[in-house]
Amino acid sequence: MTTINADSDDQVYEEMSRRGAAPLWRHLGNLFLDEPKSAAVPHLWKYPELRELALHFAGRLSIEEAQRRVIMLVNPGLQDPPATVNTLFAGLQVLMPGEQAPAHRHTANAFRFIIEGSGVYTTVDGERVHMNPGDLLLTAGWQWHDHHHEGDDVTIWLDGLDYPLVNMLECGFFELFPDGVQAPTEPDDISTRQMIHGRLNPVWMNGRPAAGRPIGNYPWAETEKALASVADNADGSAHDGVIFEYANPWTGGAVLPTISCRIQRLRPGFAGKPRQQTASFISHVVRGEGTVTVDGRDYDWGRNDVFAVPGWHEYSLSNASASQDAVIFSYSNEPALRALGLYREQLG
């Protein structure tokens, strides 16, 4: 053991480090901030720019080689490892007619929000789940999934995953399906057909563990119906307009343990009040044009664009159009923060 030289603090600090120790008094300010400061920055991705990149590689990178042909939306503040906000990922996946993306599973939870194309399905744990634009498809952690394109058009969807959180927690597992793609073992779209009716839950399934996802697909036709039936007859939230959370029908809570998915409609002329929340979120514009203002800076979005708002940044949403509404799909890490007692918000 080295003896400490009592005359020189510098030497003792060096010795402290050699002994695997550190002085809290030199770290306290960095470790305990007055309020959160995100490494991620607010950011907007324009869909036509991303689509062009996706189509370039659709023409020259085989699905066998790529496994998943996904253009990752990388936050300028989170490049290594790449993520979109602190705990969440967004990517655009392109699948071409005739292609099959092989089956695999991972502990990360995932969903797809369909942007364009038809004739495509994902097999999730043996159930073929068909997708059309505006549909929300769930693949909960550790469910096998492979994608199949039997239609004629380019298909592009938004992939959302919580792998940045899973990896941060060092709980990532990944496995390839032995036979490439799964043979169907369940009736097509059965989970959606059994569960989508909202207030009519299938009694014979009660008692079954609510693991995985009870609904494979939240079809756009149902989502649109909800928005249309409220229309302009409710003001909704002063911050978000008319906003619905996609619910797990067993629990009434979020569709995935770490991710809440929402759909909102900003009526023409809507100007949302500002708010700030510890949750980070990512939004995809289903239709319309408008602005998200974050920390006083305007980001103007249009159809299919994606924007990220990291936690604890003050933001507000607006739709300046006098005649067109705007519809936005978004997902956030609010359930993960709530589970840990860390969700806070400040309403302007």
Name the site residues for ligand 1HN (rule: CB under 6 A): 68, 70, 89, 91, 93, 145, 159, 161, 163
Shortest Cβ 138–ligand 1HN spacing (Å): 12
End-to-end CA distance of the chain: 58
CB 70 to ligand 1HN: min, Å = 5
Nearer to ligand 1HN, 259 or 327 (CB): 259
To ligand 1HN, the closest distance from the beta carbon of 37 in angstroms equals: 26
Closer of 43 and 69 to ligand 1HN (Cβ): 69
Query: Can you list the positions of beta strands (E) in 21-131?
Result: 43-45, 70-72, 89-95, 100-106, 110-116, 120-124, 127-131
Min dist. Cβ of residue 240 to ligand 1HN (A): 27
| Residue 68 or 344 having the CB closest to ligand 1HN | 68
**Cα–Cα dist 132/122, whole Å:** 11
Nearer to ligand 1HN, 103 or 327 (CB): 103
Distance CA 306, CA 253 (A): 25
Which residues neighbour 162 within 8 Å (Cβ) at sequence distance 6 or greater? 87, 88, 89, 108, 109, 110, 256, 258, 259, 333, 336
Q: Which two tokens stand for residue 338?
A: 């709530």
CB-nearer residue toward ligand 1HN: 159 or 334: 159
Nearest distance in Å: CB 90, ligand 1HN: 9
Q: Edge-to-edge strand order for the sheet containing 89-95?
A: 70-72, 89-95, 155-161, 110-116, 136-139, 217-218
